Amino acid sequence: MNKADLKPLPKLTSDDEAERFVETSDLTHYDLSGFKPVRFEFERKSAQLNMRVPASLLTEVKRQAAARNIPYTRLIREMLEEGLRRVKKTNRDDAKD
């Protein structure tokens, strides 16, 4: 199906309405090109971190976060999580040698 044949998504006014729509509709018939990936955060944030960084670094983090339309603190948290994943992977790979 080409893009010209796709229907626009209806305006859904509640979670229940959206759930019914998704359960009963074939989404391949709708234009989903405006969708953006969303990352949900379920873990409770119970610890606080306070650090000093160069102003230029914070400015760039805020600029990157604004470009992604997310709070800069969330971007920092995502960067920490990604960095830890990489370190853990490197440690596992090193342990195999």
pLDDT at site 45: 86
Exposure string of 6-44, with b = 16+ CB inside 10 Å and e = fewer, is eeeeeeeeeeeeeeeeeeeeeeeeeeeeeeeeeeeeeee
What are the pLDDT digits (tens) for 35-69?
A: 888 777 788 889 999 999 999 999 999 999 999 99
Within this chain, do residues 69 and 96 fall inside the same structural domain, yes or no? Answer: yes
Which carries the bigger pLDDT value, residue 13 or residue 42?
13
Q: Indicate whether 41 belongs to any domain.
A: no
Within this chain, do residues 89 and 60 fall inside the same structural domain, yes or no? Answer: yes
pLDDT at site 63: 98
Within this chain, do residues 59 and 84 fall inside the same structural domain, yes or no? Answer: yes
Within this chain, do residues 90 and 57 fall inside the same structural domain, yes or no? Answer: yes
Structural domain containing residue 7: 1-35
The CA distance from 6 to 73, in Å, is 37
**What one-letter code names the amino acid at 89?**
K
Within this chain, do residues 50 and 31 fall inside the same structural domain, yes or no? Answer: no
| Least confident residue range of 50-54, 78-82, 91-95 | 91-95
